[in-house]
Structure 1
Amino acid sequence: MRLIGSTTLSLGMVALLGGAWAAPAALAAPPAPPQSVAQGKNWTVDPVAGGYRVTLRLDRPAPLRDALPLLAVDGRTVGVARQSADRRSVSLISQDPAVLRARTVALVWSGDPAPGSKRSMAAPGPTDADWLKAPQGTALGDDPGAKGRYQVETAEYDLGAEATYLPGLGQKAELVGKVYSPRHATGPRPLVVFLHGRHQFCYGGDESEPFPTKPWPCTGSWKPVPSYRGYDGPAEALASHGYQVVSISANAVNAYDGDAYDAGAQARAELVLDHLSLWKKWSTVGGGPFGTKFVGKVNLRNVGLMGHSRGGEGVARAAVLNADRGGRYGIRAVLPLAPTDFARATVPGVAMSVVLPYCDGDVSDLQGQKFYDDTRYSVAGDNAPRSTVTVLGANHNYFNTEWTPGQSTAPANDDWWGEPGDSPCGEKYQGRLTAKEQQAVGTAYVAGFFRLQLGHEKQLLPLLDGSSTRAASAGRAVVRVVAQAPAADRRDLSRLDQPLPAGAVSGSAKTTICSANCAGTTTDGAQSPHWIEAYFAAKTPTLAVTKLSWTGKNGVLRVPVAAGQRDIRRYAALTFRAAPDPDGAPRTDLSVRVVDGHGRAVSVPASALGDALVRLPGANGSGVPKNLLRTVRLPITALKGIDLRDVRTVELRTDRVARGSVLLSDLSFSRPGVGTSGPASLLPKLSASSVKVREGDTGTQYVDFWVSMSRPSIRPVSVYAETNGELGSVVGEVARQVVFKPGQTRQKITVPIKANTRDSFDLRFSLVLSVPRDGLLKQSFGHGLVIDDDPTPKVTVGPATAVEGAEFLEFPITLAAPSDQYVSINGELKDGSATLGKDFESGYEAPPVRWVDGYVEPGRTKGVLQVRIVDDKVKEPTESFTAQLTSIEGGELDLPSTVIGTIRDDD
């Protein structure tokens, strides 16, 4: 993870901010108060009811990234942080006692390499040479990156910066889009909607301007960043083949989602559906900026969604939200591009392809891999295909030209870190793609996916079926595809996520089932996309796989083929996912052996079927090499000499190398297919209720969330549920799987709430539902609110007297009872016989100001308002001034209130 403190934002990062909003240059706020627990130059740790509030102040606004902001204490992350409106401070509540001994506090980002890990890899990794010369596969006859027969015309619409209200955000957002249309195309065309991710939303203004009351719309000299214009390549490729494309703006969501309970996923989904609602009107009755131009030209029963970064999570949520609303629009295909997946959602019923850029420096852990892992068996009989597309040498930003230096309107940067020549992702490293090369790959796979799924252009199937076929326009890019065929085109032999039956493993081989520990002992979380925790569903189990290890060449893992399923002539290949054990050798091998009923067998080395058992490029450190399962694909045509009508067993044999260890998953026979996809509207919908409770004064009380289903199911339905948020010592941690038996529709989740008697903050937390099985997430976040019911302490401020030679005059502040909040008082100094600048000063650096403030720290009952005394050498009478107190936070005081300060001469 990249640590960002108050002085470590580089000039390059400042450019990324695009001249982010700045606080007023002078007198913006009083300095931070002294601390009673722990403090540093730019951070504080304060006791509160929920534990300890850790706050970090930044010299410059934090960057807008798609990853979540975290705080690291002494190099170890302690939780997700909330950003202030001006992004100049971040804070969280932690119950971790380690924060009491804090020496450093830094801002880091979810998915980045762990604090303290090696930052760059000047030396190549052990398999870099393999990947620099890796075969790119056979070129597809129909290149999806090439232009089609239609000329493309573009237009834009702008219905206003606050044209729609997004309940998931609690704010209004813009309705702005760029339209790409096939000229002279007749009849209704499939519609594809593009949604960009989280990026700077305003640029080009004067940083000395005060931070506005509202961050959006842009005001003064600031202009909106046109992120929605950055996908011309794939949009024009699709439009030239007869598809209607709309790329929409989400700047308002980016401006406000730092405080959203789900990081803005629901709001982004609502924004997509709001645009589809516009297009429903414009394509039926017309109106708006286009009149009747698109009447009869758009097919809203055949819709695809592409979302970049947090937009990826947004379009995944949009597909589910649409299904929950009865499938109002025919969303049939979703492509999350370098996406976040903070809450472990599934996207059943809809064709999906997840693009994973290997050199992603923003969503560095490639957490979008979990969309594939979690959805692939989430609904029995799901006939939608899905895939992952890993692009070596690609970063996060360059898929969008408006996020690419030299191409963008607003300032932009390369999100990968390290030195230019570093392996495997430095901008000048041989394996790194240029911006234009990366954009060509994005165009090919985005356009190819939607043409395949919306247009059923089956000639494009080899691009996404895992068969190593490539698009010629992708050039030298090394791309690896993992695919799950539709249920009707697949025969699953074993998911390899449960212990194998007795006798299945013999010889020198042994197997274990692993999930969270599959990442190995030498890697950090950023290297392990399958197994890194999700930040809103950290306790939900991750992918379980079989770990096969051996110490000799006679080991066998044997999987039988059940009677009635032994005729495999209709399938194209035997496939499974595999990866070398990250704690083992960088490359290994085993044999894939298929045996028929007569004992005849064909055995093929896995190394002859691809490079799944070769570690991906890079040395250990800075989040690489990634430990990703990839496809081993044995074509059925290679099984010569055996009876394909009577295949009895599939074996993995350790006869290639004497010692090794690999991770295995998803063994099946399959054939490529487009399947059938669309809104999963018939699935039962799962929702979490919300609760509100008063904290109480003694003991522990228990509150009940209810997880409910929209209707009973004839098969068991399950979902994981866990508490998340600022739990501290008040809200108990709960995490478990909820299983609905056939006929059940409600389940109770009980959460303990611990009482106290000190005034504190109201605590907001969530009950998060994730990874459903045979159900659809409707209300996946239940909202919890613990209302502090303790009285706000009465505050008194007394007069003060000091001798001129003393450094300060201190007005005493007294609380009637200790509080878990900071109690702060502000006021204005007024001259009496003593005058400001001559006899006393506010205590702040020049220019002198008349306001004064004081604090009482959490847990204390005493504090002061402090005024600096000028020690002159002139004999004077006793003098006085007043402090008129005008505002208070955290306490009760009758205002305005005036106290007198007296200065006695010492000359």
Structure 2
Amino acid sequence: MTCRTNERTTVRVIGRTARSLSLGMVALLGVGTLTATAAPPPPSVAQGNQWDVRAVTGGYQLTLHLDTPAPMRASLPLLAVDGKPLGVAKQSPDRKSLTLVSADPAVLKARDVRLVWSGDLGKQSGMSRGITAAGPTDADWLKARRGPLLPADPGALGKYKVDTAEYNLGNEAVYLPGLKHRSELLGKVYSPRGAIGPRPLVVFLHGRHEVCYGEPTHPSDNDKPWPCPAGMKAIPSYRGYDGPATALAGNGYQVVSISANAINAWDSEAYDAGAQARAELILDHLALWRKWSTIGGAPFGTRFVGRIDLQNVGLMGHSRGGEGVARAAVLNADRGGQYGIRAVLPLAPTDFARATVPGVAMSVVLPYCDGDVSDLQGQKFYDDTRYSVGGDTAPRSTVTVMGANHNFFNTEWTPGQSVAPSNDDWFGDEKASPCGAKYPGRLTAKEQQAVGTAYVAGFFRLQLGHEKQFLPQFDGSDSRAASAGKAVVRVVSQAPLGSRRDVNHFDKTLPAGAVTGKVTATVCAGVTTTGLRAATPTCMATDDWSNAPHWGTAWFAAKTPTTAVTQLKWTGTNGVVRVSVPAGQRDVRRFAALTFRAAPDPAGAPKTDLSVRVVDGHGRAAVVPVSAVSDALVRMPGSNDSGLPKNLLRTVRIPVSSLKGVDLRDVRAVELRTDRVASGSAYVSDLSFSSPGLGLSAPAVLLPKLSASSVTVKEGDKGTHLVDFWVTMSRPSIRPVSVYVETNGELGESVGGIGRQLVFQPGQVRQKVTVPITGNTRDSYDLPFSLVLSAPHDGLLNESFGHGLVLDDDPTPTLTLTNLKTTEKTGLVSFGVKLSAPSDKYVSFTGVLKDGTAVIRKDYTSANDEGTGPVDRSIDGYVEPGQTTGDLSVKILDDKLKEPAETFSAVIQQIDGAELKVPMTLTATIIDND
């Protein structure tokens, strides 16, 4: 089976022989590019029929040229050379060119250059698209266990009729600092007719999708991507959530769904792929609603005065909008919690920078057949936040929806429902398990939208309205809504403190004596690329990060460790892993269930099982097989292809009431036993006793806020000097605060890469982060890079990206061009080209050829002239980085006529990368050889 998104663009090309270059370089991985601005660009040093490589400062500039615009996806665009991704590519405004700078010399020998996507790493777009064998457990998921029906249906229409309206303050109504562009302020409002008093407000934010559709009246590659060019219409992605918006409004909630087309149009230039800009846009809309709900104003007059409760706000974000709403909750807390953002639902979200969302109730929806964010990286919002703040009383959960793709949660991204062209992002044989469009386990668009409505509406009704009848929907018991139909949904839940007692996180080595028999318990994190040995224990060996959502790295925080769990491996039925319950915590009568997360090891047996044994102070015990209460140890569907099966930790939930014969006032230990199967391997995490609960959710305004400074520094002339960034906290803390920090971007040979954890001790508010900068005497471009903060503990990210800029301080070299004197027989020949000093820039210059006594195409031609069609009089030259001599070639034509010396001239009109007074006229003299 091969299932892949049809938004992937593949280009196969064969490279030509490359010129050799001698440049001191280091490995580079980052976002954005630093490119020469010359016209025309520097000559290529390697190329295929749709790509080229040019030498620039910091390495090699690789550009892929597409016949049609690259799709607008949530995942980051990468350029891969011969199957190896080199880094994040910057898209041109028309998305027909993708460019990155890499120091990897593999680009010079490239035979295959492709656009791939960050969510799809490991997938081979050239794989067979036929049906292959389904995974060994696929049939189990077609008849998967389903929990009881909820007593009320969150997707049902409520007692209120729903009024809708739209507001539009203009396509460029507000400036977003995180985008450095202006954005529209446009939204669709859903209101409960006749509802009295202030109502909770829920804001929806769509994700990264195409911005405009139709044909432009005056096509031009120079058109700005936003606002839409004349003749084209804006895609109304904000209108795609009528289902959940209507379900909420009909039950008394105010909903507004906002447009973010400007961000989608410009976010390839943003340092964080637009997360900050999306957060700023949300807060700008909330500022409008603060005005409309207090003093009123156009276009609504006093209609909403006294009708909106801005201290009870929920945010739903789809795709990159999911990262946007997570950032908005934190940004709101950074600004003092001016809005009461109490609930956040990232839907099929990106998480490029490993942010946390403490203090706020959160549920992350993960569609199993996501063909865009197919690594389900939003799982890390849950993993990174769950223990990030001591005393956090907010509940959180993940909701994995089997058979759901990325796009169909939004009707404007769904074929047959959208006004603009749209597609099913999961691509492959229609009957292939488990995600083919006609496979029995795949949800139709309307079925998927019904599930989305049930979980979006249920979550906000629970968290904002405290409608406790929906607690079982999010507590891991897999209770289901009638309107969700046949959908198989798996929920992992972390109950709030006060409703939860943690027994063991399973992220640290167990004490001596806890493991007996033929079983080992090893703490692991991350993945190992097949064939390589990792320095620390990793959880999986895979070439495809998309099948390991807990353990794939983030693109802007690649050095931040991923989730640590315990991996059990056993070769006998006598293995026991015993976790002791400390004194003072042994009375568990008030809790509803014993829970932990578990998943089978993909390298182990196709089916496995464990027993859970709970022991009291008298030695009495109750034993429950995992398979009797959960399918967490059943491998998820798929056949080791296209990122499937996913390896996701799922809930094992044992009701405390089922522990017959055990004194619940005196539980001494919980044991995991290998008595069910003779050999196996599994991951376990997060053992606790808990009960469903609402907890307390509010902006985390009391946490200290962490910020990275920005630094501009001169490069210097020699050696390595140290530049200091500062990571600061807004106030001292009474307990340690930690955060991971690393450099990211176009590091080139000037900036040293770092990555480590900072720990602020009580009372400490400032720490230095030293970055080495290597100087030289060569003229270079200024070099931007970032210092990224991620995965904080007991703190909140404020300015999480520090901006570094290395200013080149070397003089621009002078270019000297000299006249040419040659004979007819020389063929291709160059004027004299000399640079006063080596440069890191690619020096380029252009001009035109003018006849004298020599006539073009009779006595000489431009090196660019193909000899057919109109005469090409252009001439261009260059000096490669690190060199002092270069090339400015023309082609001399030989004839058999005896004639006097002839001349023509080259008028140089443009220069980039060096000093030269233009226009400058050079004379070429051709000496007859007959």
1:475 Cα deviation from its structure 2 partner? 1.3
1:770 equivalenced with 2:790 (yes/no): yes
Residues 775 and 743 (structure 1), Cα distance of their counterparts in 2 relative to 1, 3 Å cut:
same
Match of 1:611 in 2: 631
1:840 Cα deviation from its structure 2 partner? 6.0
Residues 7 and 229 (structure 1), Cα distance of their counterparts in 2 relative to 1, 3 Å cut:
farther
Q: After the TM superposition, which of the residue ranges 58-67 and 897-906 deviates more from structure 2?
A: 897-906
Match of 1:170 in 2: 180
Q: Tell me, yes or no, if the aligned pair for 1:152 and 1:180 is still in contact at 8 Å.
A: yes
Q: Secondary structure at the match of 1:473?
A: helix
Q: How does 1:500-899 map to 2 (within 5 A)?
A: 500-517=510-527, 518-522=538-542, 524-800=544-820, 808=828, 810-830=830-850, 832=852, 842=862, 843=864, 846=869, 848=871, 850-867=873-890, 880-899=903-922
1:275 Cα deviation from its structure 2 partner? 0.5
1:104 equivalenced with 2:112 (yes/no): yes
Q: Secondary structure at the match of 2:191?
A: strand
1:79 equivalenced with 2:79 (yes/no): no
Match of 1:202 in 2: 212
| Partner of residue 156 from structure 1, selected from 156, 163, 166 | 166
Q: Secondary structure at the match of 1:650?
A: strand
1:543 Cα deviation from its structure 2 partner? 0.4
1:143 Cα deviation from its structure 2 partner? 1.1
| Partner of residue 480 from structure 1, selected from 487, 490, 497 | 490
Match of 1:278 in 2: 288
Q: Secondary structure at the match of 2:293?
A: helix
For 1:34 and 1:324, the matched residues in 2 are separated by 47
- Residue 891 of structure 1 aligns with an amino acid whose one-letter code is A
Q: Secondary structure at the match of 1:247?
A: strand
1:566 Cα deviation from its structure 2 partner? 1.3
How far does the alpha carbon of each residue in 1:677-706 deviate from its partner, in whole angstroms, 9 at most, with x for none?
A: 010001000111111111111110001111
Q: Secondary structure at the match of 1:169?
A: coil
For 1:321 and 1:542, the matched residues in 2 are separated by 24
| Partner of residue 308 from structure 2, selected from 298, 301, 306 | 298
1:655 Cα deviation from its structure 2 partner? 0.8
| Partner of residue 191 from structure 1, selected from 201, 225, 242 | 201
Q: Tell me, yes or no, if the aligned pair for 1:6 and 1:59 is still in contact at 8 Å.
A: no
Q: Secondary structure at the match of 1:258?
A: helix
Q: After the TM superposition, which of the residue ranges 392-401 and 846-855 deviates more from structure 2?
A: 846-855
For 1:844 and 1:287, the matched residues in 2 are separated by 65
Residues 137 and 832 (structure 1), Cα distance of their counterparts in 2 relative to 1, 3 Å cut:
farther
Match of 2:29 in 1: none
Q: Secondary structure at the match of 1:498?
A: coil
For 1:419 and 1:906, the matched residues in 2 are separated by 69
What is the total number of aligned residue pairs between the two structures?
A: 886
How far does the alpha carbon of each residue in 1:545-588 deviate from its partner, in whole angstroms, 9 at most, with x for none?
A: 01111111111111111111111111111000000011111221
- Residue 368 of structure 1 aligns with an amino acid whose one-letter code is G
Q: Secondary structure at the match of 1:430?
A: coil
Match of 2:20 in 1: none
1:54 Cα deviation from its structure 2 partner? 3.2
How far does the alpha carbon of each residue in 1:598-656 deviate from its partner, in whole angstroms, 9 at most, with x for none?
A: 22111111001111001110011211111100000001121122221121111111111
Provide TM-score, normalisation by structure 1: 0.93
Match of 1:18 in 2: none
Q: Secondary structure at the match of 1:370?
A: helix
Q: How does 1:142-153 map to 2 (within 5 A)?
A: 142-153=152-163
1:426 Cα deviation from its structure 2 partner? 1.9
Q: Tell me, yes or no, if the aligned pair for 2:216 and 2:232 is still in contact at 8 Å.
A: yes
1:536 Cα deviation from its structure 2 partner? 0.7
Q: Secondary structure at the match of 2:798?
A: strand
Q: Tell me, yes or no, if the aligned pair for 2:865 and 2:873 is still in contact at 8 Å.
A: no
1:345 Cα deviation from its structure 2 partner? 0.3
1:437 Cα deviation from its structure 2 partner? 1.3
Match of 1:95 in 2: 103
1:263 equivalenced with 2:283 (yes/no): no
For 1:563 and 1:209, the matched residues in 2 are separated by 74
Match of 1:17 in 2: none
Q: Tell me, yes or no, if the aligned pair for 1:7 and 1:59 is still in contact at 8 Å.
A: no
How far does the alpha carbon of each residue in 1:846-901 deviate from its partner, in whole angstroms, 9 at most, with x for none?
A: 45555443332223333334456678999987655444332222222112223344
Q: How does 1:9-88 map to 2 (within 5 A)?
A: 33-35=43-45, 38-88=46-96
Q: Secondary structure at the match of 2:886?
A: strand
Q: Tell me, yes or no, if the aligned pair for 2:41 and 2:844 is still in contact at 8 Å.
A: no
For 1:242 and 1:679, the matched residues in 2 are separated by 23
Residues 500 and 862 (structure 1), Cα distance of their counterparts in 2 relative to 1, 3 Å cut:
same
Residues 801 and 321 (structure 1), Cα distance of their counterparts in 2 relative to 1, 3 Å cut:
same
Match of 1:448 in 2: 458
For 1:303 and 1:849, the matched residues in 2 are separated by 64
- Residue 643 of structure 1 aligns with an amino acid whose one-letter code is D
- Residue 160 of structure 1 aligns with an amino acid whose one-letter code is G
- Residue 450 of structure 1 aligns with an amino acid whose one-letter code is F
Q: After the TM superposition, which of the residue ranges 733-742 and 132-141 deviates more from structure 2?
A: 132-141
Q: Secondary structure at the match of 1:292?
A: coil
1:675 Cα deviation from its structure 2 partner? 1.0
Q: How does 1:279-358 map to 2 (within 5 A)?
A: 279-358=289-368
1:92 Cα deviation from its structure 2 partner? 2.6
RMSD over aligned Cα, in angstroms?
2.4
For 1:164 and 1:630, the matched residues in 2 are separated by 43
How far does the alpha carbon of each residue in 1:483-534 deviate from its partner, in whole angstroms, 9 at most, with x for none?
A: 0000110000000100011111111121000001444224521110000000
- Residue 81 of structure 2 aligns with an amino acid whose one-letter code is V
1:308 Cα deviation from its structure 2 partner? 0.9
Gaps in structure 2 of 5+ consecutive residues: 14-37, 528-537
For 1:107 and 1:32, the matched residues in 2 are separated by 23
Residues 872 and 184 (structure 1), Cα distance of their counterparts in 2 relative to 1, 3 Å cut:
farther
1:223 equivalenced with 2:233 (yes/no): yes
- Residue 579 of structure 1 aligns with an amino acid whose one-letter code is A
Q: How does 1:295-444 map to 2 (within 5 A)?
A: 295-444=305-454
How far does the alpha carbon of each residue in 1:72-111 deviate from its partner, in whole angstroms, 9 at most, with x for none?
A: 2221122222223332332333334544543333221112
Gaps in structure 1 of 5+ consecutive residues: 9-27
Q: After the TM superposition, which of the residue ranges 885-894 and 654-663 deviates more from structure 2?
A: 885-894
1:458 equivalenced with 2:481 (yes/no): no
Q: Secondary structure at the match of 1:284?
A: coil
Q: After the TM superposition, which of the residue ranges 41-50 and 596-605 deviates more from structure 2?
A: 41-50
Percentage identity across aligned positions?
Answer: 69
Q: Tell me, yes or no, if the aligned pair for 1:586 and 1:615 is still in contact at 8 Å.
A: yes
Residues 625 and 7 (structure 1), Cα distance of their counterparts in 2 relative to 1, 3 Å cut:
same
Residues 148 and 873 (structure 1), Cα distance of their counterparts in 2 relative to 1, 3 Å cut:
farther
